[in-house]
């Protein structure tokens, strides 16, 4: 159990979004490895004078296409991973607020409001960071 029963249910609820984000991240990582290979092929071909002008143009087009794939992939993994962490944060805040509304007035007179504010702000931000950048 990474977080416990109260938090693990969000892995099930938003698991598909996390998987899409992780898949986009893996694709971006693999595509990023191809650009140095293409540049190496261009340099080797120019050194050995075996590369035609048309081949260089094709390789440059490939680099541009890979660059666009990287941009789109980074956008997707950031939206799916970080966006999902914000959704979890939103769900938890709503759940905690609904619970806080049900508590009696005597509870609030006995407990310090600063502790409750810390739960609503700092602790939920830490959970959001664990689901977003922490998962990354």
Segments forming the whole domain that contains residue 113: 5-131
Residue 136 lies in a domain: no
Residue 58 lies in a domain: yes
- 10-56 pLDDT tens trace: 888 998 999 999 999 999 999 999 999 999 999 999 998 898 889 99
Residue 66: which CATH number? 1.20.1560.10
Please calculate the CA angle 92-93-95 and round it to the nearest 5 degrees: 60
Kindly tell me the burial class for residue 128, based on how many C-beta atoms sit within 10 Å of its own C-beta (0-12, 13-18, 19 or more). buried
Give the separation between CA 78 and CA 14, rounded to whole angstroms: 15
Q: How confident is the model at residue 1, as a pLDDT?
A: 43
Split into its structural domains, the chain has a count of 1
pLDDT band at 106 (very low <50, low <70, confident <90, very high): confident
Q: Is the pLDDT of residue 65 over 50?
A: yes
Q: How confident is the model at residue 25, as a pLDDT?
A: 95
Residue 100 lies in a domain: yes
């Amino acid at each position: 159990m990474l977080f416990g029963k109260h938090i693990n249910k969000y892995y099930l609820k938003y698991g598909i979004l996390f998987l899409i984000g992780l898949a986009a991240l893996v694709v971006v990582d693999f595509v990023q490895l191809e650009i140095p290979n293409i540049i190496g092929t261009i340099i080797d071909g120019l050194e050995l004078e075996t590369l035609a002008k048309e081949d260089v143009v094709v390789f440059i087009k490939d680099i541009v296409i890979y660059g666009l794939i990287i941009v789109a992939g980074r956008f997707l993994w950031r939206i799916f991973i970080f966006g999902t962490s914000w959704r979890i944060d939103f769900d938890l805040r709503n759940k905690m607020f609904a619970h806080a509304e049900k508590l009696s007035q005597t509870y609030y007179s006995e407990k310090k409001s600063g502790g409750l504010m810390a739960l609503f702000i700092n602790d939920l931000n830490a959970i959001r960071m664990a689901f977003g950048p922490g998962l990354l």
